[in-house]
Structure 1
Amino acid sequence: MARVIVDVMPKEEILDPQGQAIAGALGRLGFAGVSSVRQGKRFELEVDGSVSDEELGKIAEGLLANTVIENWTVTRVQQA
Protein backbone atom coordinates (compact mmCIF):
# COMPACT_ATOMS: atom_id res chain seq x y z
CA MET A 1 0.00 0.00 0.00
CA ALA A 2 1.09 3.55 -0.63
CA ARG A 3 -0.19 6.92 0.51
CA VAL A 4 -0.90 9.48 -2.17
CA ILE A 5 -1.55 13.16 -1.50
CA VAL A 6 -3.58 15.17 -3.99
CA ASP A 7 -3.42 18.93 -3.41
CA VAL A 8 -5.98 21.08 -5.22
CA MET A 9 -5.59 24.87 -5.30
CA PRO A 10 -7.44 27.68 -7.07
CA LYS A 11 -5.60 28.92 -10.14
CA GLU A 12 -3.71 32.16 -9.51
CA GLU A 13 -6.06 34.18 -11.73
CA ILE A 14 -9.15 32.96 -9.85
CA LEU A 15 -10.53 35.08 -7.00
CA ASP A 16 -10.30 33.23 -3.68
CA PRO A 17 -12.88 34.83 -1.35
CA GLN A 18 -12.28 32.25 1.40
CA GLY A 19 -8.55 32.98 1.36
CA GLN A 20 -9.24 36.71 1.43
CA ALA A 21 -11.58 36.28 4.41
CA ILE A 22 -8.91 34.29 6.28
CA ALA A 23 -6.26 36.91 5.51
CA GLY A 24 -8.56 39.65 6.81
CA ALA A 25 -9.38 37.70 9.97
CA LEU A 26 -5.70 37.12 10.70
CA GLY A 27 -5.08 40.86 10.64
CA ARG A 28 -8.05 41.56 12.90
CA LEU A 29 -6.80 38.92 15.35
CA GLY A 30 -3.43 40.63 15.58
CA PHE A 31 -1.38 38.35 13.34
CA ALA A 32 0.80 40.73 11.35
CA GLY A 33 2.91 39.96 8.31
CA VAL A 34 0.48 37.74 6.36
CA SER A 35 -0.30 39.49 3.10
CA SER A 36 -2.14 36.75 1.23
CA VAL A 37 -3.89 33.42 1.83
CA ARG A 38 -5.05 30.88 -0.75
CA GLN A 39 -7.35 28.11 0.47
CA GLY A 40 -7.32 24.73 -1.21
CA LYS A 41 -8.17 21.10 -0.62
CA ARG A 42 -6.02 18.11 0.32
CA PHE A 43 -6.98 14.51 -0.34
CA GLU A 44 -5.14 11.48 1.05
CA LEU A 45 -5.59 8.21 -0.81
CA GLU A 46 -4.33 4.76 0.19
CA VAL A 47 -3.59 2.83 -3.01
CA ASP A 48 -1.97 -0.45 -3.88
CA GLY A 49 0.96 -0.83 -6.23
CA SER A 50 -1.26 -1.42 -9.24
CA VAL A 51 -2.47 2.21 -9.36
CA SER A 52 -0.30 4.11 -11.84
CA ASP A 53 0.59 7.80 -11.81
CA GLU A 54 -1.52 8.16 -14.97
CA GLU A 55 -4.56 6.71 -13.16
CA LEU A 56 -3.96 9.01 -10.20
CA GLY A 57 -3.90 11.96 -12.58
CA LYS A 58 -7.22 10.86 -14.06
CA ILE A 59 -8.70 10.60 -10.56
CA ALA A 60 -7.47 14.08 -9.63
CA GLU A 61 -8.55 15.68 -12.88
CA GLY A 62 -11.83 13.84 -13.29
CA LEU A 63 -13.15 13.81 -9.74
CA LEU A 64 -11.17 15.80 -7.19
CA ALA A 65 -10.47 19.06 -9.03
CA ASN A 66 -12.49 21.44 -11.15
CA THR A 67 -9.83 21.99 -13.80
CA VAL A 68 -11.53 25.13 -15.10
CA ILE A 69 -10.62 26.99 -11.91
CA GLU A 70 -8.23 24.68 -10.01
CA ASN A 71 -4.77 23.17 -10.41
CA TRP A 72 -3.80 19.88 -8.82
CA THR A 73 -0.66 17.95 -7.88
CA VAL A 74 -0.21 14.31 -6.97
CA THR A 75 2.56 13.22 -4.59
CA ARG A 76 3.37 9.67 -3.53
CA VAL A 77 4.49 9.56 0.11
CA GLN A 78 7.11 7.08 1.27
CA GLN A 79 5.83 4.95 4.09
CA ALA A 80 8.18 3.45 6.64
Structure 2
Amino acid sequence: MKVRILVRLKPGVLDPQGRAVHHALEGLGFDGVEDVRVGRMIEMDVADDTSDEALRTMCEKLLANMVIEDFAIEKLEQEPA
Protein backbone atom coordinates (compact mmCIF):
# COMPACT_ATOMS: atom_id res chain seq x y z
CA MET A 1 0.00 0.00 0.00
CA LYS A 2 1.24 3.50 -0.80
CA VAL A 3 0.88 6.09 1.96
CA ARG A 4 1.53 9.81 1.83
CA ILE A 5 2.27 11.70 5.05
CA LEU A 6 1.88 15.49 4.94
CA VAL A 7 3.72 17.30 7.73
CA ARG A 8 3.27 21.02 8.35
CA LEU A 9 3.90 23.50 11.11
CA LYS A 10 1.06 24.10 13.53
CA PRO A 11 -0.77 27.42 13.20
CA GLY A 12 1.03 30.15 15.10
CA VAL A 13 4.47 28.55 14.76
CA LEU A 14 6.93 30.84 12.98
CA ASP A 15 7.80 29.58 9.48
CA PRO A 16 11.01 31.30 8.31
CA GLN A 17 11.19 29.19 5.15
CA GLY A 18 7.63 30.12 4.23
CA ARG A 19 8.43 33.77 4.93
CA ALA A 20 11.47 33.59 2.61
CA VAL A 21 9.37 32.04 -0.17
CA HIS A 22 6.70 34.70 0.31
CA HIS A 23 9.30 37.46 0.07
CA ALA A 24 10.84 35.88 -3.06
CA LEU A 25 7.43 35.61 -4.75
CA GLU A 26 6.79 39.29 -4.04
CA GLY A 27 10.23 40.13 -5.45
CA LEU A 28 9.35 38.26 -8.64
CA GLY A 29 6.23 40.38 -9.03
CA PHE A 30 3.60 37.86 -7.93
CA ASP A 31 0.82 39.84 -6.26
CA GLY A 32 -1.97 38.46 -4.14
CA VAL A 33 0.03 35.87 -2.17
CA GLU A 34 -0.91 36.62 1.41
CA ASP A 35 0.90 33.87 3.30
CA VAL A 36 3.15 30.89 2.58
CA ARG A 37 3.65 27.87 4.82
CA VAL A 38 6.24 25.27 3.85
CA GLY A 39 5.90 21.64 4.92
CA ARG A 40 7.11 18.29 3.72
CA MET A 41 5.67 15.20 2.14
CA ILE A 42 6.78 11.65 2.90
CA GLU A 43 5.69 8.77 0.66
CA MET A 44 6.04 5.21 1.85
CA ASP A 45 5.25 1.76 0.56
CA VAL A 46 3.96 -0.30 3.48
CA ALA A 47 2.41 -3.74 3.83
CA ASP A 48 -1.30 -3.80 2.98
CA ASP A 49 -2.15 -4.88 6.53
CA THR A 50 -0.36 -1.92 8.18
CA SER A 51 -2.87 -0.46 10.62
CA ASP A 52 -3.91 3.17 10.88
CA GLU A 53 -2.65 3.09 14.47
CA ALA A 54 0.80 1.92 13.32
CA LEU A 55 0.94 4.75 10.76
CA ARG A 56 -0.09 7.29 13.42
CA THR A 57 2.57 5.96 15.79
CA MET A 58 5.25 6.27 13.08
CA CYS A 59 4.30 9.92 12.66
CA GLU A 60 4.14 10.67 16.37
CA LYS A 61 7.45 8.97 17.20
CA LEU A 62 9.60 9.89 14.21
CA LEU A 63 8.11 11.59 11.16
CA ALA A 64 6.65 14.71 12.83
CA ASN A 65 7.76 16.86 15.73
CA MET A 66 4.53 16.80 17.70
CA VAL A 67 5.44 19.95 19.64
CA ILE A 68 5.40 22.20 16.56
CA GLU A 69 3.99 20.10 13.69
CA ASP A 70 0.73 18.50 12.58
CA PHE A 71 0.43 15.62 10.15
CA ALA A 72 -2.13 14.07 7.84
CA ILE A 73 -2.07 10.53 6.48
CA GLU A 74 -3.38 9.72 3.00
CA LYS A 75 -3.72 6.20 1.65
CA LEU A 76 -3.15 6.32 -2.11
CA GLU A 77 -4.90 4.26 -4.76
CA GLN A 78 -2.69 1.61 -6.30
CA GLU A 79 -2.15 2.06 -10.01
CA PRO A 80 -3.17 -0.95 -12.12
CA ALA A 81 -0.29 -3.15 -13.22
TM-score for both structures, normalised by structure 1: 0.95
Please identify runs of 4+ aligned residues in structure 1 that moved more than 6 A: none
Q: Match of 2:27?
A: 28
Give the % identical residues.
43
Instruction: Give structure 1 stretches of 5+ with no counterpart.
Output: none
Amino acid at match of 2:55: L
- Which digits, 9 at most, give the CA deviation of each residue in 1:40-61, with x for residues without a partner? 0100000111211100000011
Instruction: Give structure 2 stretches of 5+ with no counterpart.
Output: none
Distance in 2 (alpha carbons) for counterparts of 1:5 and 1:61: 15
- Which digits, 9 at most, give the CA deviation of each residue in 1:14-60, with x for residues without a partner? 01011011001000011111110000010000011121110000001
Distance in 1 (alpha carbons) for counterparts of 2:59 and 2:21: 26
Amino acid at match of 1:71: D
Q: Match of 1:48?
A: 47
Q: RMSD across aligned C-alpha pairs, in angstroms?
A: 0.7
